[in-house]
Homo-oligomer: A and B are copies of this chain.
């Protein structure tokens, strides 16, 4: 799968990077491609909302390819410091020299900068993107005094899973109101079966059975299943089946096990699998 990368050596970061050459496999479920492209044209930041494993990351890779822009991805987490995004001072040849972080590099190149699971980062880290996410399109770097003006083509994209109930973690309104939001969900059954078959190499009939099972498992949420299977989980299960593992065993280790440790729920899923596959 092609992915745009920044050059590994910081020294060569000034060069503009080409967009991914091969199109990532992505099947649109609505008008998300059109809206995203128009946001890009107007420099509007975009937020992708949706559950785990429904294709948000793949969509960004697809759009970067379609729009011909490099893609810079940052996985957000509690420990991410503002300087991990903007850059830091390093010692080179006895001198302290500045090295751009991924956000700064993306702004200079006009890349799409994707902050994955943005709600995991601390609010104060995220605040550093504010001036890039409104009309100013600038990135003031406190540590050097420089103000970076984002190159044309630069766009900020974040992802967000509203299903997680974080009592103490939420985006500030002053952050959220800077992003156009696109809703994502699991694809319709026929499309999801097509995706599972394409990604796993499993035949279409068994892929459809798996998707039917997933729909029944997703109803277990009312019986206490905290998380339901995403498309990514179906693809993993299908791959084991394509490798020759028995369907019920594959469901047990690759679909039920990753969702829960609860013996009752595990056997409920096993029953559904026995009845469906």
Contact = CB atoms under 8 A, between A and B. Distances in A.
Most B Cβ at <10 Å: residue of A31, A127, A226, A249: A127
A73 B146 CA distance: 11
A interface, how many residues as a size bin? 35 or more
A105 B145 contact: yes
Nearest to A105: B145
A112 interface: no
Contact of A3 (B101, B136, B145): B136
Contacts of A249: 31, 35
Most B Cβ at <10 Å: residue of A122, A229, A258: A258
Count the copies.
6
Contacts of A146: 5-9
B243 A41 contact: yes
Interface string A231-249: 0110010011001110001
A141 to B, nearest CB: 8
Interface stretch (A180-188, A205-213, A214-222): A180-188
Contact of A75 (B42, B90, B91, B130): B130
B174 A123 contact: no
Contact of A145 (B10, B120, B145): B10
Contact of A77 (B3, B124, B135): B124
B134 A232 contact: yes
Of all A-B residue pairs in the complex, the 9 with the closest CB atoms, nearest first, are: A181-B257, A77-B124, A8-B146, A78-B124, A5-B147, A173-B227, A38-B243, A77-B127, A162-B261
Given A3-B138, A7-B146, A90-B96, 6 more contacts: A10-B144, A41-B243, A75-B128, A77-B123, A79-B124, A180-B257
